[in-house]
Structure 1
Amino acid sequence: METPDMSSLKLSRPELIDFEGISMIHYFTDNWENVKNFKARPDDILIATYPKAGTTWVSYILDLLYFGKDAPERQTSQPIYTRVPFMESCFQVIPSGTDLADNLTTSPRLIKTHLPVQFVPKSFWEQNSRVVYVARNAKDNAVSYFHFDRMNMAQPEPGDWNNFLEKFMEGKNVFGPWYDHVSGWWEKKQTYSNLLYLFYEDLVEDTGREVERLCSFLGLSTSPEEREKITKGVHFDAMKNNKMTNYSTLPVMDFKISPFMRKGKVGDWKNHFTMAQNEQFDEVYKQKMKNTTVKFRTEL
């Protein structure tokens, strides 16, 4: 495999650090005071996910629902990461997520986060902001995260697949254990009514139906024609080839290794897991998920 040219990159791969009991990297904790004290607004919409669970997809759907018709130029002139700032991010190559969010002139502001629920700035709950959480089954999520870490120089070195999967089962990934993340947000939904919990698998199965769910949650009266247009526009292949949504404009990602948007499928884990890995994973999964009622599909 040829080695990518790193000379153009400002970033060196970070080490995992323990941050209040969660594995993190400094790019997501360097700006912590501003994240913690972030001032949410009642009309903000927070898009929350574990990494690689459809964040960009849902961000783009929401962006089109709110601004696609009245501000179509946004779609071609601004990359998704400035339209929907990544709240806790603090990469030197672009302004911090909190700065980008504070400077948004749109209403609502669309803001994304990968934080586990206990780290979310209190102001979101106090302002009763709306939250859309997207969860993806653990096996596909692990595969996607592995390929992401391979190509993203702002993430720790993933090692080989076997090594990465071990770490995933131990919860030693940036943003902590998948298991705690999806179940923590699932618990929150029981007490916080302004939270919509979506599944990546449902989005793949019937994007139009999930767009409709989003509209009804957000109180949007989007016409069926408009919804259909959006559903077509957010098709995986369309987004993968769209420079404004595929992250190809960020210098930290090496597309020679793997594209940011790789497959967007359900069940790709079968091409990665050995039988032994699958058995071990199922065992760990049963143990870690025994106290939650959230259920996932690993194939469609």
Structure 2
Amino acid sequence: MAIKGSLNSNFRKVLAVCPPPALKQTQPGTLLSQKKYTLSGSWAAQKARERQKEERIKTGVKLTGFFQVMDHKTGWEGMEPIKRTELVDVDGIPLLKNTADNWQRLWAFKARPDDLLICTYPKAGTTWIQEIVSMIQHRGDPQKCDQAPIHQRIPFIDLFPPKPFPHGLDEAEVMPSPRTLKSHLPVPLLPPSFWEQNCKIIYVARNAKDNAVSYFHFHRMNKGMPEPGNWDEFLENFLMGKIAWGSWFDHVRGWWEAKERYQILYLFYEDMKEQQEKDRKYNSGSQMDPAREIRKVAQFLGLQLPDQVVNQIVQHTMFENMKVNPMTNYSSIPSFIFDQTVSTFMRKGTVGDWKEHFTAAQSEWFDDACLRLLGDSSLVFRTEL
């Protein structure tokens, strides 16, 4: 099934026309704080941060991943309690409270011309594309990728975990160039230096139905996310954009339009998955051309890879391999943060799992809302292969 369309700013009117079927009028699973943030910054505070950064570099202090410096089996000295967070409105877009509290600093982030930014809506294949990019950069050598977990190799600049964990922004600021960075920010909230430096950006979009299901389960297992409520409540919040990083519709449309003006490679999760399935058949004797999407990424990065290297990347980034790889499956994160007994970080990695969650009425309501919210765009999403 294809969902085609464009951004509709009058979101609440659409929901009024397409009310959720058989859903109780319950309080949303997450509440937005009344506190709001603007995009201006403090010059004095910025100068102070620059001096701190220079001091860290001068004294040779290197921030390391927090799971290298602490033993989660014996305790976390100085650890702030992990609790379900609230959302805070930043220029009309809900963000995690810790991100909003550090907003001025994030907005003032200084991108470099050779930075590569990987951006997605949450749970749209972020870790998958990160590992593909990392393998391409290391010319298909898995040993180089296995030297550190993915969250250390590619800092998440808009994540501000509780103390004593270092922030992704801290790690990014002391990284040597060229840097590869991760973000879930929508176009309006991306620090302006990325546009000013015309950085290369890789964006991955996933169909809204599967994205909603995956994001729901991520909320369930991640103790640092807002309370998701039940599936019905979460689905309603998803459609209303009342979840962290805002509306899926605004997100995918904003980046789709930005690619016309900037160096943005826009990929679709379903294309990547389809090609992966074709690669399986190819390796079994089919005549299908393997690794199309991997070659597309490599070309965007200005690299030409031999077939042997491409095939190594294909095998290394198969979902079943990444799910058991401690460098990509986030198994190093302690269970009081990521409770993988509730749901694994890498859960299924399929297209069409939404059918196990949506009722027929919910599916019809969701499709109608998608068509109304994405009505005039050239964007097309597939919800099954």
Deviates more, 1:38-47 or 1:138-147: 38-47
Q: Quote the residue 1:261 is aligned against.
A: 346
CA distance in 2: counterparts of 1:214 and 1:75, whole angstroms: 17
CA distance in 1: counterparts of 2:119 and 2:380, whole angstroms: 18
2:118 to 44, 47, 55: 47
- Do the aligned residues in 1 keep the contact of 2:322 with 2:329 (CA within 8 Å)? yes
Amino acid at match of 2:218: F
CA distance in 2: counterparts of 1:97 and 1:263, whole angstroms: 27
- Do the aligned residues in 2 keep the contact of 1:68 with 1:75 (CA within 8 Å)? no
Matches within 5 A, 1:61-140: 61-67=132-138, 73-92=143-162, 93-105=164-176, 107-140=177-210
What displacement does 1:74 show?
Answer: 4.1
What displacement does 1:73 show?
Answer: 4.5
1:227 to 310, 327, 338: 310
Amino acid at match of 1:103: V
Q: Quote the residue 2:44 is aligned against.
A: none
1:20 to 84, 91, 94: 91
Root-mean-square deviation (Å): 1.6
Identity of aligned residues (%): 50
2:301 to 201, 215, 218: 218
CA distance in 1: counterparts of 2:94 and 2:332, whole angstroms: 27
Answering whether residue 249 of structure 2 is matched by residue 164 of structure 1, we say: no
Task: Name the SS of the counterpart of 2:380 in structure 1.
Answer: coil
- Do the aligned residues in 1 keep the contact of 2:140 with 2:312 (CA within 8 Å)? no
CA distance in 2: counterparts of 1:108 and 1:204, whole angstroms: 28
1:209 to 278, 281, 292: 292
Give the unaligned 5+ runs of structure 2.
Answer: 1-74, 277-290
CA distance in 1: counterparts of 2:101 and 2:154, whole angstroms: 20
1:142 to 200, 212, 231: 212
- Do the aligned residues in 2 keep the contact of 1:29 with 1:88 (CA within 8 Å)? no
Task: Name the SS of the counterpart of 2:218 in structure 1.
Answer: helix
- Do the aligned residues in 1 keep the contact of 2:120 with 2:184 (CA within 8 Å)? yes
Q: Quote the residue 1:246 is aligned against.
A: 329
- Do the aligned residues in 1 keep the contact of 2:139 with 2:309 (CA within 8 Å)? no
1:35 to 106, 110, 120: 106
CA distance in 2: counterparts of 1:174 and 1:131, whole angstroms: 21
CA distance in 1: counterparts of 2:184 and 2:360, whole angstroms: 30
Answering whether residue 283 of structure 2 is matched by residue 198 of structure 1, we say: no
Look at both structures and tell me which one has the larger radius of gyration over its CA atoms: 2
CA distance in 2: counterparts of 1:205 and 1:89, whole angstroms: 31
Task: Name the SS of the counterpart of 1:282 in structure 2.
Answer: helix
Instruction: Report the number of matched residues.
Output: 291
What displacement does 1:27 show?
Answer: 2.5
Q: Quote the residue 2:81 is aligned against.
A: 10
- Do the aligned residues in 2 keep the contact of 1:30 with 1:90 (CA within 8 Å)? no
Task: Name the SS of the counterpart of 2:256 in structure 1.
Answer: helix
Bigger relative contact order (CA 8 A; separation at least 6): 2
Task: Name the SS of the counterpart of 2:366 in structure 1.
Answer: helix
Q: Normalized against structure 1, the TM-score is what?
A: 0.93
CA distance in 2: counterparts of 1:98 and 1:212, whole angstroms: 30
Task: Name the SS of the counterpart of 1:295 in structure 2.
Answer: strand
The superposition leaves residues 196-251 of structure 1 with CA deviations (integer Å, 9 ceiling, x where unpaired) of 00000001011411001011111101111101101100000111101111111123
What displacement does 1:20 show?
Answer: 1.2
- Do the aligned residues in 2 keep the contact of 1:47 with 1:132 (CA within 8 Å)? yes
Amino acid at match of 2:319: F
Q: Normalized against structure 2, the TM-score is what?
A: 0.73
Amino acid at match of 1:54: G
Amino acid at match of 1:142: A
The superposition leaves residues 49-102 of structure 1 with CA deviations (integer Å, 9 ceiling, x where unpaired) of 0000011110111111112557x5442231111111001111025211111111
1:57 to 125, 128, 133: 128
Give the unaligned 5+ runs of structure 1.
Answer: 1-6
